[in-house]
Amino acid sequence: MHKKPIYKMPITEGSPLHSETIERLLTSYKIMPGGLLPLLHAIQSEIGYIPKTSVSSIARGLNLSRADVHGVISFYHDFKTQPVGRHRVQICRAEACQSMGSRQLEEHAHRTLAIDYHQTTADGQITLEPVYCLGNCACSPSVRIDDDVYARVDTQRFDTLIAALTSTQ
Amino acid sequence: MRRFYIPQDTTALALGADAVATALCALGIEPIRNGSRGLFWLEPLLEIDSVAGRIGFGPVGAKDIKSILEALDSNPSEHPLFLGAVNEIPYLKSQQRLTYARAGLGDPVCLDTYRQLKGFIGLENALAMSPQQIVDEVAQSGLRGRGGAAFPAGIKWQTVLDAPANDTSSAPHKGQKYIVCNADEGDSGTFADRLVMEADPYQLIEGMAIAGLAVGATQGYIYLRSEYPVAYRLLNTAIQRAQQANLLGHNIAGSNKDFHLEVRLGAGAYICGEETSLLESLEGKRGMVRAKPPLPAIEGLFGQPTVVNNVLTLAAVSSILERGAAAYKNYGMGRSRGTLAIQLGGNIKRGGLIELAFGVTLREIIEEYGQGTYSGLPVRAIQVGGPLGAFLPEAQWDTPLDYEAFSAIGAMIGHGGIVVFDDSADMAAQARFAMEFCVAESCGKCTPCRIGAVRGVEVIDRILANENREENVILLHDLCDTMELGSLCAMGGLTPYPVRSALTHFPTDFNRR
């Protein structure tokens, strides 16, 4: 775990604000055993994503190689390396929701929002993502919007929920 | 004064429980935000203390509050949403609740409520026992791991108790053993772990502290999936309160024993529910599966002896230490002892949590508890045990829920999730999805899983397009054999189960073109 990069690439720093945030978070997380995931969650929760330019600072701070850090960020579905929409809308694709029509709901969402999964609406409001189970399988189909889960979401309820998001701006 | 209860559980919230609470508050009534009873078809379930015990109304919306309050002052039983005494609802009354005995009774993070409901008795008993005595008690109970693999918990604990911690590793891991709770409940159709964490988190905390005492571990981690924000909040509150009450941390309950506990969030990778991948993730790495041996019990987290148990296994330990091994062992059949948390979901009228001794049949569950499909169409297939479980046709619904009986028909109980599909389900599409899911979630370490799943989707597409159908069906069976026998873990190893069962039991779905 103490690999040192042999060849040092020139470091491109992100915005000064970002590097300040990352340095502050590094101070609190580098002493935590296995702290990389908690650190990445913290960065994402403050900045909204994990800037690619932060990989070198994270690697240096945790005494890892940049490849290690990049490998972890790219392994997990949760971590984003680009800015995402103001709201994250996740549609459950797992079997219980499929048995209640989530495939139709997915199609409807793609059509009405005019985006595919992992894309953001043109107005920057909504990023659409698939999710595999929200643990709400007795009242499917389920949708999560930011930190709230919604049950029995048919196409009509989906439209209502989306309309509520865009009207509260 | 009347007390009102409205749950703060994910499903209840997803059905509008907060709006009900707000409506009550607007009328000057501050409801207790309890956990859910697990009768999800009745959520939001409003409960009220009365002389005859707790009575319920459900499913309740904010608009019903006024009429319910009026009915309470006259004749409650005349209200259309009146359910009578909650304990007498047959769905609940007929269950054998041990792990879920407290679920929904009160505020889940209130320590006094937990104590009043016989909480921490198991921990108190454990503090008066030697580590070997605790391990023996768990072994005698016959408890098997509830995560899916059903490995005897007592044997795992004995291995960790006997394994010396490595003193040469660097601080802070030097001489340390760990208790890791697998709360990465990723299987579709499962919510039993979530219900424990949201309705009775202290039970899990207590079970983990007991495990720590049993094997000599002073640090525990709960690896929780990020899809459970409510559980995350409640667990953190519960841990903080337990620390303040000196039930976690240094010198717990004045016993000179330490046990520290921390929740760590996953990051949306299904594979991290596999125990070695989970350990890698906890160490801050990619969730790549490790080859076994070494077993995590010998070389687990940070290379140290580690107990990795599911939420339900650790929660059951609290009841075992409270009531004794014999009481727990009295439930169940054959080598499947105790109770099973059955999670009924999918296309079902009355979905929810059903805790029963092992041995009940699938048909009893879907017909008597579930009351048929939500859509009203006949049931076509039932998937038991999550996305890696087989699709069972009607001929197999009389199989008792027992680890061995299910394994005898090429199926598995897994974590106890049951997903019902109605007549309109396309089982070929479900088989394709099983492979597609494996493509999305494989960790990529072994070839049969990483490449096999991609090829699986392609072969199924060819079968569906009627390209050399017969040869491709043979090829698909062959691919399933390769994945099952050659994969490093259950992800690639069990993906063939739903695929093969769909092919075998629902062949017409593959011949539509």
Residues 6+ apart with CB under 8 A from B4: B24, B29, B31, B32, B46, B47, B48
A134 and chain B in contact, CB less than 8 A: yes
- pLDDT interval class at A3 (50, 70, 90): very low
* A94 contact residues in B (CB cutoff 8 A): 188-189, 387
pLDDT (tens digit per residue) in B310-353: 999 999 999 999 999 999 999 888 888 889 999 999 999 999 99
In CATH, the architecture of A87-167 is 3-Layer(aba) Sandwich (3.40)
CA distances from B209 to B125, B218, B308, B315, B339 (A): 12, 8, 13, 11, 22
* A38 contact residues in B (CB cutoff 8 A): 264-265
Burial per residue of B368-392, b for 16 or more beta-carbon CB atoms within 10 angstroms, e otherwise? ebbebbbbeeebbbbbbbbbbbbbb
Angstrom distance (rounded) from CA B429 to CA A102: 13
Q: How far is A150 from chain B (nearest CA, A)?
A: 4
Of B427, B429, B391, the closest CA to residue B409 belongs to B391
A164 and chain B in contact, CB less than 8 A: no
Strands B178-183 and B306-310: parallel
B341 and chain A in contact, CB less than 8 A: no
The residue of chain B with its CA nearest to that of A68 is: B285
Compute the average pLDDT of residues B472-500: 97
Query: Whole-prediction pTM value?
Result: 0.95
pLDDT (tens digit per residue) in B391-427: 999 999 999 999 999 999 989 999 999 999 999 999 9
Read off φ and ψ for residue B223, nearest 5 degrees. Answer: -90, 105
Angstrom distance (rounded) from CA A12 to CA A10: 6
According to DSSP, the residues that pair with B418 across neighbouring strands are B344, B384
Angstrom distance (rounded) from CA B211 to CA B215: 6
Chain-chain contact of B285 with A40 (C-beta, under 8 angstroms): no
The predicted pLDDT at position B349 comes to 98
| DSSP letters spanning B36-55 | --S-GGG-S-EEEEETTEEE
- Is the pLDDT at A135 greater than 60? The verdict is yes
Strand arrangement of the beta sheet that strand B339-346 belongs to: B352-357, B339-346, B417-422, B379-384, B391-392
Q: Which of A133, A149, A153 has the most B C-beta neighbours within 10 Å, making it the best mutation to test the interface with B?
A: A133
Q: Is the peptide bond between B293 and the residue preceding it cis, with omega within 30 degrees of 0?
A: yes
In CATH, the architecture of B111-329 is 3-Layer(aba) Sandwich (3.40)
Please provide the CATH number assigned to the domain covering B332-422: 3.10.20.600
CB B193 within 8 A of CB B183: yes
- pLDDT interval class at A14 (50, 70, 90): low
The predicted pLDDT at position A169 comes to 52
The predicted pLDDT at position A6 comes to 43
Compute the average pLDDT of residues B259-267: 98
The predicted pLDDT at position B390 comes to 95
Chain-chain contact of B268 with A149 (C-beta, under 8 angstroms): no
Q: How far is B57 from chain A (nearest CA, A)?
A: 18
Domain boundaries, chain B: 4-87, 111-329, 332-422, 427-510
The predicted pLDDT at position A7 comes to 39
Angstrom distance (rounded) from CA B31 to CA B17: 11
CA distances from B38 to B41, B53, B173, B341, B347 (A): 9, 19, 39, 11, 17
Mean pLDDT value across chain A: 91
Residues 6+ apart with CB under 8 A from B316: B98, B99, B143, B146, B207, B328, B338
pLDDT (tens digit per residue) in A47-57: 999 999 999 99
Q: Which two tokens stand for residue B459?
A: 């072969």
pLDDT (tens digit per residue) in A89-122: 999 999 999 999 999 999 999 999 999 999 999 9
B14 and chain A in contact, CB less than 8 A: yes
Burial status of residue B312 (CB atoms within 10 A of its CB: 0-12, 13-18, 19 or more): buried
Cross-chain CB nearest to A34 (options B191, B282, B348): B282
Q: Which of B42, B365, B419 has the most A C-beta neighbours within 10 Å, making it the best mutation to test the interface with A?
A: B419
Burial status of residue B333 (CB atoms within 10 A of its CB: 0-12, 13-18, 19 or more): middle
Q: Which two tokens stand for residue B298?
A: 């010998």
The predicted pLDDT at position A86 comes to 94
B173 and chain A in contact, CB less than 8 A: yes
pLDDT (tens digit per residue) in B224-238: 999 999 999 999 999
- pLDDT interval class at B100 (50, 70, 90): very high
Q: What is the dihedral of CA B99, B104, B110, B114, to 10 degrees?
A: -40
Of B126, B135, B216, B208, the closest CA to residue B177 belongs to B216
- pLDDT interval class at A168 (50, 70, 90): low
Mean pLDDT value across chain B: 96
Chain-chain contact of A95 with B383 (C-beta, under 8 angstroms): yes
Domain boundaries, chain A: 16-75, 87-167
Q: Which of A118, A139, A149, A157 has the most B C-beta neighbours within 10 Å, making it the best mutation to test the interface with B?
A: A139
Compute the average pLDDT of residues A1-30: 67
Please provide the CATH number assigned to the domain covering B4-87: 3.40.30
According to DSSP, the residues that pair with B308 across neighbouring strands are B180
First and final C-alpha spacing in chain A: 46
Burial status of residue B77 (CB atoms within 10 A of its CB: 0-12, 13-18, 19 or more): exposed
pLDDT (tens digit per residue) in B277-287: 999 999 999 99
CB B264 within 8 A of CB B224: yes
Compute the average pLDDT of residues A66-94: 96
**Which H/E stretch holds residue B309?**
strand B306-310
| ipTM over 0.90 threshold | yes
pLDDT (tens digit per residue) in B146-197: 998 889 999 999 999 999 998 877 778 889 999 999 999 999 999 999 999 9
* A41 contact residues in B (CB cutoff 8 A): 226, 265, 267
Task: Name the H helices within B335-487.
Answer: 362-364, 403-408, 427-441, 447-464, 469-486
Task: Return the sign of the alpha-carbon dihedral for residues B125, B130, B135, B137.
Answer: negative
Task: Name the H helices within chain A.
Answer: 16-29, 36-47, 55-62, 66-75, 95-98, 102-113, 155-167
| CATH class of the structural domain B427-510 | mainly alpha
Burial status of residue B151 (CB atoms within 10 A of its CB: 0-12, 13-18, 19 or more): middle
* B188 contact residues in A (CB cutoff 8 A): 94-97, 132-133, 137
The predicted pLDDT at position A27 comes to 95
Residues 6+ apart with CB under 8 A from B368: none
A127 and chain B in contact, CB less than 8 A: no
CB B261 within 8 A of CB B220: yes
Q: How far is A112 from chain B (nearest CA, A)?
A: 23
